[in-house]
Amino acid sequence: MASELGETAQEDSEDDDMVGPQVEGKMTKAQYLLDMRALHIKRKLDEEKGGISKEVKKREEWMLELPPEKASNLGLGPRSFRMKEAPDMSNRSSWTDTPADKLRKEQQALKGEAEPVSSEDTTRMAFIKERDNVMDKMLQQTKEKEKPESLLELHQKKLKKKKKKEEKEGKKKERRPFDRNIDLQVNRFDDAQKKAIFKKAQLLNTRFSSGESKYL
């Protein structure tokens, strides 16, 4: 009697650590394998009969493709000019290529085959090139008809006229105060160097690389 009470008390103490419903019964490994095999056979028979369509899980398109190039800016880029040329963003497929795509491209590169270009991209680039050529011709014609003089050119003409006028009137040069740049010749730029610098400054618009379209 005492031994039975001791066993009951021991079982009660072990049950105190258990939380939730009690397990109905332990399944052996053989029973588990038989159940899994029966379930597999049942699914296979259902698929053959057409009762259950085999669904292939696929990721959505937005998860497989990169966002548009313009969406990456969102007005958060640098507010100054680039010190270097912008990276080429025309082909960003390396970010989304699968191992099969990479293997196919490597084989094409070994064979010397170029990556196929879509007809839409070809048409768009041809249209942009034709429009840029038309705009270049119009701009050149406008410059030839009405070429405005820069402020520097106007100032140089004014100085030349003033100098010629003084030479004709025979005015004597007045004494001037000491000038370090003139008297000591610290600045050794001659007229040829100055003209070269001015011409170089006039071509600043050619130093900025344009995108795929030269004009808006």
Identify the pLDDT of residue 25.
Answer: 63
Which region among 32-36, 66-70, 193-197, 206-210 has the lowest average model confidence (pLDDT)? 206-210
Which region among 58-62, 87-91, 155-159, 178-182 has the lowest average model confidence (pLDDT)? 87-91
The dihedral formed by the CA atoms of 34, 35, 37 and 40, expressed in degrees to the nearest 10: 170
Identify the pLDDT of residue 99.
Answer: 84
What tokens appear for 207 in the block?
């130093």
User: Does the pLDDT value for residue 136 go beyond 60?
Assistant: yes
Burial letters for 182-201: b for 16+ Cβ neighbours within 10 Å, e otherwise? eeeeeeeeeeeeeeeeeeee
Taking CB atoms within 8 Å and a gap of at least 24, the contacts of 36-44 are none
125-154 average pLDDT score: 82
* Cβ atoms within 10 Å, residue 128: 15
Which one is predicted more confidently, 75 or 61?
61
Distance between CA atoms of 4 and 91, rounded to whole angstroms?
81
Which one is predicted more confidently, 42 or 12?
42
Identify the pLDDT of residue 131.
Answer: 87
Per-residue pLDDT of 175-203, as tens digits, reads 778 877 777 765 667 777 878 887 777 76
Distance between CA atoms of 39 and 52, rounded to whole angstroms?
14
121, 129 contact by CB (below 8 A): no
1-26 average pLDDT score: 56
Would you place residue 206 in the very low, low, confident or very high pLDDT band (cuts 50, 70, 90)? low
- Predicted TM-score (pTM) of the model is 0.28
Sequence-ordered alpha helix ranges (H) in 52-190:
61-64, 99-111, 119-145, 151-169, 180-183
Counts for the chain of helices (H) and strands (E), in that order: 8, 0
Residue carrying the six token digits 């590169």: 109
Q: Map residue 205 onto helix, strand or coil.
A: helix
What tokens appear for 185 in the block?
């010749």
Whether residue 147 lies inside any domain: the answer is yes
Would you place residue 5 in the very low, low, confident or very high pLDDT band (cuts 50, 70, 90)? very low
Question: H or E element: which one contains 202?
Answer: helix 191-202
Residue carrying the six token digits 């939730």: 20
Per-residue pLDDT of 80-126, as tens digits, reads 777 777 666 667 777 788 888 888 888 888 877 656 656 677 788 88
Whether residue 195 lies inside any domain: the answer is no
Domain count along the chain: 1
Range of the domain at 125: 118-169
Per-residue pLDDT of 20-57, as tens digits, reads 665 666 667 788 888 899 998 988 888 777 655 556 67
Identify the pLDDT of residue 38.
Answer: 92
75 phi-psi bin (left φ>0, alpha ψ -120 to 50, beta other): left
